[in-house]
Amino acid sequence: MSVKHQNQRQLAERWDVSEATLERWRSEGLGPLYLKLQGRVLYRIEDIEGFEAQCLHKSTSARVAPGTLAGGVA
């Protein structure tokens, strides 16, 4: 079994963000899980895809429980 990885440059290209953004996210505890091996930062594909799945949205509106209005009145 082979685990696939992407390095910081590859992930930055995948998401069209700068490498500095990924570095900042790591320092702030944001973004996908990462490995740091002998000074190299690697991201497992499964963690990247899991993070992408968590970022999926259907709407820009706030989530409201069915049967209620935004103010909480039914």
pLDDT at 68 over 80: no
Q: What are the extents of the domains in the chain?
A: 5-54
Say whether 40 sits in a helix, a strand or coil.
strand
* Between 17 and 64, residue with greater pLDDT: 17
pLDDT band with cut points at 50, 70 and 90 for residue 3 = confident
Q: From residue 59, how far is each of 19, 67, 68, 69, 74 by CA, in Å? A: 28, 18, 17, 16, 21
Q: How far, in whole angstroms, is CA 3 from its chain's centroid?
A: 19
pTM attached to this predicted model: 0.75
- pLDDT tens, position by position, 19-64: 999 999 999 999 999 999 999 999 999 999 999 999 998 888 766 5
Q: From residue 36, how far is each of 4, 5, 48, 61 by CA, in Å? A: 15, 12, 15, 37
| Rounded to 5°, angle at Cα 34 from 41 and 51 | 135
Return the pLDDT at 7: 97
